[in-house]
Structure 1
Amino acid sequence: MTTAGEAPGGGRARAGDGHDRARVQRRAVSVLVAVQVVGGLGVGAALSVGGLIAEALTGSQSWAGMATTTITLGAAVFALPLAGLAARRGRRPGLGAGWVVAACGGAVAIGGAQAGWFPVFLAGMALYGAGTATNLQARHAAADLADDATRGRDLSLVVWATTAGAVVGPNLTGPGAAVARPLGLDPLLGPLLFSTLAFAAAGALTLLLLRPDPLLVARETGGGRAASAGKEPPLESLRLVVRTPMALLALVGTVASHTVMVAVMTMTPVHMSHGGAALTVIGLTISLHIAGMYALSPVVGWLSDRVGRIPTLVAGQGILLVAVVIAGASDHREGVVMAGLVLLGLGWSFGLVSSSAMLAEALPPERRPGAQGVTDLAMNLGGAGAGALSGVLLSAFGFGGLNAFAAVFVVPVFALVLWARRSQRAS
């Protein structure tokens, strides 16, 4: 909460000065884009090796999915505290703290893996999950000051900015090994070292540059009830979402899209490795998948603004269904797996961008952070559950069975779309 004469996000405002929402929004989006490029490198660098490290430490394919699962579970654990910090203090402290915690997690994971201590490695991965939570919550910061006509575009630009770092990250196994060996580390830990440095840099950039704070400016210029911000219990935020048809659809759409994506992506490196794929091919596959997630998000945002949130969400669920059919029928054909993973990422993008814009529009500014935190919590819990089951399902039913399991999660979205449309017509 800011006091009289204090500029949101820190610093002093001259007496009588207001905030140009459009100017602050442009600056906020520019800073968020720069941070997402750096932080995205940290998020992507560990994706192609986390499962392989877990499998090497335990000697079990069933445990291979625990690295991604723990990251996703960590993201769920940190979703509410980071959203609560943002609600109380602004986006800058919330996002900055998340990146710093993730950097600490990377250091813990490297130490645990190098020592051969699997529980310590998983503890580091849980802290590392704060980076995933922060990467995702940045999209909400882009929506704080946006108007309805451009909210999808601004939000999607921040999602898109993750592309550069996240696509490069999975291809750092070779350079990572070259850096790790002179330091006496296992070659697989090189990408985690890059992640740790990237998260630390993202935290520093956020804390230094995200001024004025977009959420605090939105409250100041929009008349939001800053005094009560951050004090709403999570259960009350959840009740608000459940009572609001469009907010509920946004929550379910977000959770379904993320759960399908995580379930399949988590075990793809292990599946390909067992088929004889080289680490470079696995890294390329994950890079293409991440490109599908982020690279076309500005187009998705434009479609969401022009065509509508619900049609864009429905299109995303359809793309996810096509993706799991292709990936599930791929066997060990590397090109087919790549095609399925690209579509998997694209479907996720359609679902996340449209749902996030829908959630922001469905609720007043002072109620958004709590609802956004609950949504991200549910999203990451869904991903964590899917990731935890993915190794078991791969062992029991193969990659095709795992993809069939993932397809089930799109069904509630289609059901809620019909219900939300009826509610809109009735109102």
Structure 2
Amino acid sequence: MSTASDVVPVRILATSECYNSPQCFQGVGGGFFSIYCRNIEYKDGKLSALCQTSDGNWLSATLDLNYHLENVDGIVRVATEPPGNFLASCVDVALEGMSMLKGRASRASGGDSNMVDFQLQLDDYVANIGGKLKIGGGFFSRDSSQIRFTRHGWLEALCRCSSNESLTSSLHLNYYLESIDGVLQFADSPPGNFLAVARNVTLDTSTMRLRGSLQRIDSSWRDFELNLDYNVKNVEGRLVWLPYPHAPYYAHENGGGGFGSYDASDDPQLVEYATSIWPHDLTGGDHRITPPANQTEKIDIARIIAKWDLDLMDRGWKQCTLVSFPKEIPGWRIDNQENGAFPIGGLWYYSIAVQKGRNVYASVLAPVGYNLGRTRFRNAMLHSRDQGTVLRIAPPRLTDPRQPPPQFDPRCAQAWVSSLNWVITTSLKRRIYL
């Protein structure tokens, strides 16, 4: 039987290479700033600490909690639209231990008799990012209802859009999370399948805490707790997993794809390893995938991938650049590598690569003539980057209502899907990047 002291806060790192590096520490279900900070203090609305960097140095860091926190009828929480100015309606605010903020907050009716006690676990939302204190979160529950977690690992909810319409959405947590000796982490190489070694997994919808136990290598069990409001965001009616909760999520770009996002609508079975990658007598050694040199380069790759906004690849394209050198990330591009489409297993594919100079940082084979969806392209590219492997996107099911005719059907001619950053010149059958 596990005790309360056995509960392990869920945390992940962007890659296994930086497991003990505060520079690239990311949280699943929390920021856990106190793990890599010391001399933590709170005074007059400011949180201060010495925060460790990846090279072992300690930097002074300050976070303005009064700017980032708000009081909503006696509940102190992270403001989705700062400034929150919680101190205007709170008193006796102090830090208990290293990360628990406590005090008294007034309710909407006002008056001393309507003051209530509050507490906020700062480790749930504050992280040490490269020696700086950052606050973040997705807060999907604030504009979602009918939230539940299924026994197959799906988070499901009715998500409200800006138009006040509500859409049903789901996120496959079992695909993105894995257990490493009883510690829940974001899977470096999905599917993670954490439920294979889990028991008694339940979701408390009042706190958005997913709780359960994970089996360790020695067959003992370790409890875990996961704050879903930290890494999950509702983007216009769609649940999205945020690998980087402290980085901006550009929901206005690319049809809501955003920076570094993973789309809940993608079927994990549609991304497969390719057994035959390079046709035309090219050797795999000529097309090795280069791993990102550092965290900055990894983020730059995610940013160029976020620029991809095509849903469908048609026939007749030669070698060309499809997404060229954006101003904010110069040097990066996405190319169609081969001189046209080529067959693998009876189907025709394009070879799409994220490149800088002559180096390839992600490579995906996309079937010709299928409406895969832009987010599925992005996800496959992100997985290729993280796994260092060329990936092939399998054709969708024939019953998918979004699909045009199969690629060998004569009706499936030059049929691109118009999108945000592309315009079509019909007479030339060309794409021009704006």
TM-score (norm 1): 0.27
Larger relative contact order (Cα-Cα within 8 Å, sequence gap ≥ 6): 1
Structure 1 or 2: larger strand share? 2
Structure 1 or 2: larger helix share? 1
TM-score (norm 2): 0.26
